[in-house]
Structure 1
Amino acid sequence: MANGCEHPAACHAGEAPILASATRKGRFWLLIEHAGPWAAELEECRLPDDVHRLISRARALDIRPQLIRRPGRREARTGPLHVYVAAAAVDDPWLAEGFVERPDDLDLGALVHGVVPESCILVNEPMYLVCTHGRHNACCARLGLPLARFLDENLSGEVWETTHVGGDRYAANLVCLPHGLYYGSMSQAAAIAAANAYRHGEVVLDRFRGRAGIPEPLQAAEHFVRAHTGEISVGGVAVESSRSVDDTTVCVVRRTTERGTSRFRVVVEPTVLTAPCGLTCADGIPTYRLAELSELTPVLT
């Protein structure tokens, strides 16, 4: 039985705060093709024992496991296990595909060291994941299924339905791999814009949840520098260092362009907001506010 959706419509329409809400557990990814059905949790899914062991190994190595399937299709595939692995937390993120006869032999240790496992081959095209995990939350299926089918019609071969990616209140959720860029509250027009931008190495800041694999305050700092400078290149903004003082996070954020490198001191603080419609999502919507942003003056030598 699907879980009910308790979030106000405003949360799904892009009116609620969405920044800095990507999962920090997305440095490395393991994607396993499985047509379903999908239980509420991966551990409850009817999968072969060796696939469950593979998922357990992934979790132990802090690799994010996901089940995936082609939009609108529920035919079970036969033959070797079809997997993708992705490294988002490396200087040059990558995605690779493999067909594995023995799941126990997939070298996940190589993955967490940023190395493509021997049984996988690099993929040049991006991958777009749409959460359609209705058993986890009804909104993910209600809003995600039509979006996945629409994107598949326009980006054939690059779109997959997937299990829970985090942030039910932001359905429909879109994840762009290999960089692990999260978008939420996606309409069809917004999703196509985000996908096309990613193909060109760019980010659309509207409805951008953040970059997976880094803590939420750092995602917020990157967001505020992008908003301040207009920088949209995927790799154009990154946190170089950070420190926490109570609830406040102080970051040095690097912006890199063809003209050179600049750095910003960014101070962010957590806050909780109610939904724009006046209702609350549980205890409110956690987000971050910008307390300070200033460009650092280069030291002359």
Structure 2
Amino acid sequence: MGGQTGMARGCGHPAALHTGEAPILASATVGARFWLLIEHSGPWAAYLDECRLPDDTHALIERATALGIRPQLIRRPGRRAAAGGPLHVFVASSAGSRPWIAEGTFERSNDLDLGSLVHGVVPESCILVDEPVFLVCTHAKRNACCARLGLPLARFLDENLPGNVWETTHVGGDRYAANLVCLPHGLYYGSMSQAAAIAAANAYRNGEVVLDRYRGRAGIPEPLQAAEHFVRAHTGELSVSGVAVESSRSESEGDATVCIVHRTKPGGLSRFRVVVEPAVFAAPCGTACTEQISTYRLTELSELSPALA
């Protein structure tokens, strides 16, 4: 698809959105700080409440949603497990500096203590998982491009990282298909080719991010995602925990957001004052139509002196 213009076939989004030509920074899902992944082979309807699931599973999804936990259905790439049997789940906390993911199997959904999860505690009967979990959105009923681009990507990653990769339902931002989410940190990547995806996955396994096609970290407001991105681009800091926003405020006039961002480095911290503003990218169609993509632009980035920091 590289170099094409016009709409990406089957999804109604300009092809530029699927090739990395359009800006995708600061577009990770803001509301996802806690995760509930439920294995279900499908089929998947457009929305979770429309899926044919056991009543017990629907009740678990409703309970998670009420607590602010993001529910996702997952399945192994290219394989469909037999229906029935115990409930197999992953639960994850992307919040804070020490994210984690754990796995559990339950006969009844009520046995899963989601209250512990939202307090950052591993629920009873769940076991911490040492390896990262990679989610690829393949939710065809939500958007055709997620399946057309996501399915081959999920199979490719599964061949290279067996046991760590799952197909999943809508993760947000289907315009950026193929989408990849790295848990437990909740790192989002979009417009992924096979080469870009394996590079991002291997970097994450080594505790780093790849800025190319990096959408941001889930659970963080979009302007703060943008501020972190610009500091990484400026400093070359790629470690997952190496950059974080300490504080932020909105300007009294205009839409700018002012952030203090720290970078962890050998010997201590450096701090930066970062100002970002909303911007719009108009993706070319090659026809009369145009899709406008919300993004952010950098208006100021300055390192604070040690006295101010």
- TM-score w.r.t. the length of structure 1 is 0.96
1:193 is displaced (CA, Å) by 0.3
Aligned to 2:292: 284
Q: 1:72 aligns with which of 75, 78, 88?
A: 78
Cα contact 2:283–2:291 (8 A) shared by 1: no
The whole-number CA distance in structure 2 between the counterparts of 1:87 and 1:74 is: 27
Structure 2 distance, partners of 1:64, 1:293, is 33
Residues 109-166 of structure 1, C-alpha deviations (whole Å, 9 max, x = no match): 1001100000200000000000000000000000000000000000000000000001
Deviation at 1:69, TM superposition (A): 0.1
Q: Is this contact kept in 2: 1:34–1:76, CA < 8 A?
A: no
Q: Would you say the 8 A contact 1:133–1:140 is kept in 2?
A: yes
Letter of the structure 1 residue corresponding to residue 108 of structure 2: R
| Runs (4+) off by over 3 Å | 276-283
Give the aligned residue type for 1:17.
P
- Is 2:13 the partner of 1:7? yes
> Which whole-Å deviations, capped at 9, do the CAs of 1:143-193 have from their partners, x for residues lacking one?
000000000000000000000001111000000000000000000000000
State the AA in 2 paired with 1:33: E
2:265 paired residue number: 257
Q: How does 1:233-248 map to 2 (within 5 A)?
A: 233-245=239-251, 246-248=254-256
Compute the displacement of 1:78 (Å): 3.3
- Residues 90 and 114, structure 1, Cα contact 8 Å, conserved in 2: no
Equivalent residue letter for 2:219: G
Q: For the aligned residues, what is the CA RMSD?
A: 1.7
State whether residues 284 and 290 of structure 2, in contact with CA within 8 Å, keep that contact through their aligned partners in structure 1.
no
1:126 aligns with 2:169: no
Aligned partner of residue 250 in structure 1, secondary structure: strand
Deviation at 1:90, TM superposition (A): 2.5
Q: 1:166 aligns with which of 128, 151, 172?
A: 172
2:225 pairs with 1:219? yes
User: For residue 124 of structure 1, what is the amino acid of its counterpart?
Assistant: D
What is the number of residues matched between the two proteins? Answer: 299
**C-alpha distance in 1 between matches for 2:158 and 2:291:** 36
> In 1, Cα distance between the equivalents of 2:44 and 2:72?
11
Partner secondary structure for residue 26 of structure 1: coil
Matched residues in 2 for 1:106 and 1:278: separation? 51
Alignment of 1:51-200 (within 5 A): 51-200=57-206
In structure 2, C-alpha distance between the alignment counterparts of 1:273 and 1:179, rounded to whole Å: 28
Equivalent-residue separation in structure 1 for 2:170 and 2:289 (angstroms): 19
Kept in 1, the 8 Å contact 2:97–2:241? The answer is no
CA change 1:200–1:133 in 2 (3 A) is same
Task: Kindly indicate whether the alpha-carbon contact (under 8 Å) linking 1:18 and 1:170 is maintained by their aligned counterparts in 2.
Answer: yes
Q: Does 1:270 align with 2:278?
A: yes
- CA contact 1:274–1:281 (8 Å) conserved in 2: no
Unaligned segments of structure 1, at least 5 residues? none
Q: What residue identity is the alignment partner of 1:82?
A: H
SS at match of 2:116: helix
Q: Secondary structure at the match of 2:259?
A: strand
Structure-2-length-normalised TM-score? 0.94
Counterpart CA distance in 1 for 2:223 and 2:80 is 39
More deviation, 250-259/189-198: 250-259
